[in-house]
Structure 1
Amino acid sequence: METSTESTRGVGPSYGYTLRFPGEPFAKLRERTIEALKREGFGVLTEIDVQETLQKKLGENFRNYVILGACNPQLAHRGLQAELGLGLLLPCNVVVWEEDDGAVVSMLRPDLMFQAARAPALEPIAKEADERIRRAMEHLRSGAPQG
């Protein structure tokens, strides 16, 4: 998985796990991403269509780009029991965007996100969340279209 800090041409930030899928349509990767998250116990609570929002609010054209708010209820419950303020860091954001030659998915690294809370009780929860996000990314990688 790419974890480069370079932010151009769809390479993801260091605070996310990022995969590029040359030749894959945006809509297909969006659906595959939701399915990969489900396999790891995450549901999508919110979906923000950035392209539509920027067009509606600013009259600006933008590429296909969605922000998915993913949540694993069991992990969220455990985390909130340990630290009520954790809600400020939930849900985990996942973005899917279109590139000229395909599509990209980037998932927030829970291990880094939970560091902001600085609550020792959250460490095992953050570790499990990070492992699940990594596995979701591996599901995407292993199911990548052959082209």
Structure 2
Amino acid sequence: MSYAHTITVGLPYPEAVTRTREALAGQGFGVLSEIDVRATFEAKLGSDAGQTLGDYLILGVCNPALAQKALAADPDMGLLLPCNVVMRRGPDTGTTIIQTIDPQTMVQLSDAPAVAEVASDADRRLLAALKELVNA
């Protein structure tokens, strides 16, 4: 089973990040955390490590209503929250890759029927956000 939904867009990296945030917000997701992996690599491993990686941002996103349902059904689901969204662009590429976790991954780890419902709803919303970006 694949654990990611992946698209590639021809948008400049800063615009891809902005539009991704907007598309996610339009589906009820807020950004709880943000990790600039390139900046972290540069700070901890040196500028070459960051430059080799290229732009790489991880957003931890959450739809509060869906998270509440998942945690009520199975408190261990907190280990899988928030949902990660990655935007990355290699140093020599003209496209940006945008990925979301496939929420169906949660279904593989929990027997709670409500988790399956939440995963399906989250999946539908994340795929809608990606579709919006592909059509941008």
How many Å separate the matches in 1 of 2:101 and 2:34? 15
2:4 aligns with 16
How many Å separate the matches in 2 of 1:94 and 1:74? 18
Secondary structure at 1:45 match in 2: strand
1:85 counterpart = 2:73: no
1:42 aligns with 29
Deviations 1:64-84 (A, max 9, x none): 100000100000011111111
1:108 aligns with 101
CA RMSD of aligned residues (A): 1.4
How far did residue 120 of structure 1 move? 2.3
Secondary structure at 2:71 match in 1: helix
Aligned ranges 1:1-147 → 2 under 5 Å:
14-22=2-10, 24-59=11-46, 60-61=49-50, 62-99=53-90, 100-143=93-136
Amino acid at match of 2:8: R
**What count of residue pairs does the alignment treat as equivalent?**
130
* Larger RCO (CA within 8 A; separation ≥ 6): 2
How far did residue 121 of structure 1 move? 2.4
Deviations 1:97-131 (A, max 9, x none): 11312211011100123322232221111111111
Consecutive unaligned residues in structure 1, runs of 5 or more: 6-13
Please, what TM-score do these two structures have when normalized by structure 1? 0.83
Q: Which one has the bigger helix percentage?
A: 2
Secondary structure at 2:85 match in 1: strand
Deviations 1:41-91 (A, max 9, x none): 000110000000011111122301000001000000111111111100000
How many Å separate the matches in 2 of 1:63 and 1:121? 39
Aligned-residue sequence identity (percent) comes to 42
